[in-house]
Structure 1
Amino acid sequence: MLRAGVCSVTFRKLPPQEVIRLAAQAGLQGIEWGGDIHVPHGDLQKAREVARHTRDAGLVVSSYGSYYRAGHGDELPFEKVLATAKELEAPVIRVWAGKQDSHEASPEYWQKVVEDSRNIAQSASREGVTLCYEFHGNTLTDTGESARRLLEAVAHPAMRTYWQPRVEQSLLPNLRDLRRLLPWLVNVHAFWWSSAGERRSLHEGEKSWNRFLQVVRLSQREHWVLLEFVRADSPEAFLQDARTLQQWLSAG
């Protein structure tokens, strides 16, 4: 089953209650709360408040979008991230696979990220929480091949991944990446940008997104499809994209 939600970082300039109001108005089911602005790492009171307001609006917390970098735990203690996610009642924490491109990282750096990923996955699993890598440039999960390599090296059931289309790639390479990662896939970040990085209406990506969602459904598991970033950070553009996403999900 595919469920529709939104990443709170789509509206970094808005307070949490306004993000909740927009998500509810859009008819979405959940929110991924970001750890940079809306629910800062370590602010347990804020996490409890946001969790309560989310529930009161009839929504659920799909995940906690942290900025923990595997291999760099000295910069942000994972214990702080995990404690915040627990108060937020987030079943999933998004983490980042280091801060180097996969093709530039040394074997020693890869091993550093693998070992830390395994350690934090073990900590999360004891609390019933799943970790997911962000699928993103400037990390070891910047391609489908490298992300799969990392997941296989970590080999922990609590370490999974997100996926999102790489804007510099055409449809077929993006589909290949998605298929490679399907066994580990938890959630999807949904947006539509031009190859130059210009934000576009999600509807303009209908042909590609229909193909992407067909592949995601093959897992026969539950996945959140989370809107992330809209044209000009506009609530109106967000509401339009939310309608588009829900039409796609209901058609499947």
Structure 2
Amino acid sequence: MGVLRTGLLSITFRSLPPAEVVRLAAEAGLDAIEWGGDVHAPHGDRAAAAEAARLTREAGLTVRGYGSYYRLGVEGQPFGFEDVLASAVALGAPAIRVWAGNRASAEADDAWRERVTAEARRVAETAKAEGIVVCLEYHANTLTDTCDSAIRLLREADSANLRTLWQPAIGLSAAERLDELTRVSPWLEYVHAYYWVDGERRPFAEGAEEWERYLRAVRELPGERHAMLEFVRDDAPGQLLEDAGALKRLVRDIECGSIE
């Protein structure tokens, strides 16, 4: 039986400066932040990453991960994995998020899969030297757009330092999503938490019954796992406070065993 923690993806509030993101996360009573590499901690900008880390620590929060936008196997990116790793080190992040290419699994031939898999293995081993795990974004239009494809990639990369994130896939039922979560759980690092209905962002409290099933499954895993909030309705700070309250109540009830 593991431990559940809570957190926030900084990209939830891309328009706000890092200090304000930290203030909101602390006010919401969350435990951690995943810092995004697109705005708040740009890839390769060690100074920005170090400042985000300082703000996080001083607020009594932890850095859960570095949300990079590095795409495995894709040429011509404006930054390399070395830049990503430098930022993660400056942040003191224990995990780096990367994307499994830029093609849907249904459109990927064997050569493409081999290319993405080989680079996944390479970056995982590179990050290992810094004590950082590499995690795959669980997302459409990549090789993690289905559970079967994600597991194939993880198995073929065959690196203990390669993990995956998880988030509810659009178009699946709650039961199907739970099945996917259970199947990828041997590689699970943490989850991105939000609640959508027909593509519309909704208050997290409306999805509490569904998320109780997911988080109960996550808690069955050994160690510590975070549920990291993102996609709050209308990008509203007030909605974050409401969503965080709902998430924390859910975690508390699961931890205390009051939900049967």
TM superposition score category, shorter chain reference: over 0.9
> For residues 161 and 70 of structure 1, what CA distance do their matches in structure 2 show?
14
Structure 2 runs not aligned, ≥5 long: 255-260
Deviating above 3 A after TM superposition, structure 1's stretches of 4 or more consecutive aligned residues are: none
Could you tell me the TM-score, scaled by structure 2's length? 0.95
Residue in 2 that maps onto 1:105: 108
> Does structure 2 conserve the Cα–Cα contact (< 8 Å) formed by 1:144 and 1:176?
no
Q: What code does the residue aligned with 2:160 have?
A: P
Aligned to 1:4, what secondary structure does the other structure show? strand
Shift, 1:73, TM fit: 5.6
Residue in 2 that maps onto 1:47: 49
> For residues 203 and 103 of structure 1, what CA distance do their matches in structure 2 show?
34
209, 214, 220: which is aligned to 2:216?
214
> For residues 44 and 170 of structure 1, what CA distance do their matches in structure 2 show?
41
Q: What code does the residue aligned with 1:193 have?
A: W
**Is 2:242 the counterpart of 1:233?**
no
> For residues 33 and 203 of structure 1, what CA distance do their matches in structure 2 show?
24
Shift, 1:74, TM fit: 4.5
> For residues 25 and 71 of structure 2, what CA distance do their matches in structure 1 show?
28
Residue in 2 that maps onto 1:149: 152
Q: Deviations over 1:126-170 (max 9, x none)?
A: 110001000000100011111111100101011000000013111
Residue in 2 that maps onto 1:251: 253
Aligned to 1:166, what secondary structure does the other structure show? coil
Residue in 2 that maps onto 1:87: 90
Residue in 1 that maps onto 2:74: 72
Residue in 2 that maps onto 1:36: 38
> For residues 231 and 135 of structure 1, what CA distance do their matches in structure 2 show?
21
Q: Deviations over 1:169-204 (max 9, x none)?
A: 111110111011000001100000012x10001011
Q: What code does the residue aligned with 1:229 have?
A: F
Q: What code does the residue aligned with 1:153 have?
A: E
Shift, 1:221, TM fit: 2.1
Residue in 2 that maps onto 1:124: 127
> Does structure 2 conserve the Cα–Cα contact (< 8 Å) formed by 1:167 and 1:194?
no
Q: What code does the residue aligned with 1:150 have?
A: L
164, 172, 182: which is aligned to 1:169?
172
> For residues 45 and 145 of structure 1, what CA distance do their matches in structure 2 show?
39
Shift, 1:224, TM fit: 1.1
- The CA RMSD over aligned residues, in Å, is 0.8
Aligned to 1:169, what secondary structure does the other structure show? coil
What are the within-5 Å matches in structure 2 for residues 193-204 of structure 1?
193-195=196-198, 197-204=199-206
**Is 2:16 the counterpart of 1:19?**
no
- What is the number of equivalent residue pairs in this alignment? 251
Could you tell me the TM-score, scaled by structure 1's length? 0.98
> Does structure 2 conserve the Cα–Cα contact (< 8 Å) formed by 1:66 and 1:95?
yes
Structure 1 runs not aligned, ≥5 long: none
> For residues 27 and 237 of structure 1, what CA distance do their matches in structure 2 show?
14
